[in-house]
Each structure stands twice: as structure tokens, then as C-alpha cells.
Structure 1
Amino acid sequence: MYYKINCHRDGYYRGGIPHTVQPKFYPEDSLNKEQVQAMREDPRMNIVEMPDEDVPEEYRVDSGDVSGTDDEAGGGDGITSRDELMKMTIAQLEEKYEVTAPNKNALVDAVLEKLSNPTPDE
């Protein structure tokens, strides 16, 4: 069994995985229950169970390519985790993501929130 998964825009993260408008097919054993639940509960995500024989080979995701935690987020710009954001300077974060906060931890939280919950025009 596979999960057919896509979302409202390319680069949207849920369950620690960047998603695309074009559906991708993930083997059932490549996602944990928390990831599947997070995707099912997000109105911007589409997730459907499909039998193996109905899944186009070119859209199958190798289970070795799937990893992630809920601490990960991104926007198609190569930033994939809190750790990577913490390596950036405050000035870089403020300029790149157009957010401000009283300290770096709060700033990184604001960036992760922005990336996880984009406005409709993003």
C-alpha cells in the first residue's frame, strides 16, 4: 500500500517532509502514524491510500528518501531544520524571512511558523 500525497504549493512541509502540488507516492512503511495524522489533519494536504498496482512507478518515493521530524520546516530554499536556521545570523533571518522577534530563539520559532503556515499568496 502507498500514500498518495500532495499539497497546495511546492515546498510546503508537513510531517517533516517537503511536499509538492504534483502527487508523490510514499510506501506505507516509510511514514509513521504521527506524520500521517499531521497530514490528514492539515486542510492544505491531500492524502489517499492506494494499492501498489495503482501507483505509477515514476512517482514512487523510495522509503530511504523519507525522513523528518515535526521540528523540520522549509520553503523550497534549502532550509530544512531548526538547526540550520540557528546557524544563520539574526540579520540574515530577518532579511530573508521578513520576521522580527526579541531574541534568536523566538525569531527561529517565527520563521518556522511562517514556513509551516504560509499566507495564500506565498
Structure 2
Amino acid sequence: MFKKNTVPQRKPLSIPREDLIEDIGILRQCEDQQNKLFWCLDEKPPQENKFSQLEQFLKGTNNLEDISNTLTNLLEEINHLKEEIGKNINDVKNKASSINLEHEVNEHR
């Protein structure tokens, strides 16, 4: 059911073994070099340029979603107001026509 976990193959290290042993020996002897190594290990690796703006882009995407939701809510509100205004206009027209009818009836008397 579950596959075996496999470690992806890594590229072979391009530094010769002898150079690594020599560098480790220097690190054991020189505190300054040890401090440089620890400083490098504590630092974040440099990001590739194509990913540097990714976080800002994603924030912008979230902002677009919020803006889209706000606009959708405003459109619903506008449609509701249009319906109310349409009803109010019809009420005013009906009242105006009934007033005109009453006025015409009163004139004929």
C-alpha cells in the first residue's frame, strides 16, 4: 500500500575529498574560520531572483481576493438599492396619477 521512502539522488560533490579534509583541519585550528562558518550557517541562503518577489505577489493575490469580495458585496447592495428605487418610483407614479385623477374629478364637478 505504501511505497518505500527513497532519497533522491544528489549531485556528486565537486570538491575533492582531500580539500574537504584540509578545510576541516583549518577549521579545527582557526577560531576566526570557525566563526565565519557558524555565521554562514546562521544566515539564510540567497534567494533566487525569480522567487524574490513571490511573497509580495501572493500578498497581492490575497488583496485581490478581498477586493473582489468587497466589490461583489457592493454590487449586491447596488442591485438591492436599484430594486428599492424602482419600487419607490412606481409608488410615486401611482400616487401622482391618483392625485391627477382626483384633481380632474374635482375640476369636472
Shorter-chain TM-score: which interval?
Answer: under 0.3
Q: Greater Rg, structure 1 or structure 2?
A: 2
Higher helix share: 2
Higher strand share: 1
**TM-score normalized by structure 1?**
0.19
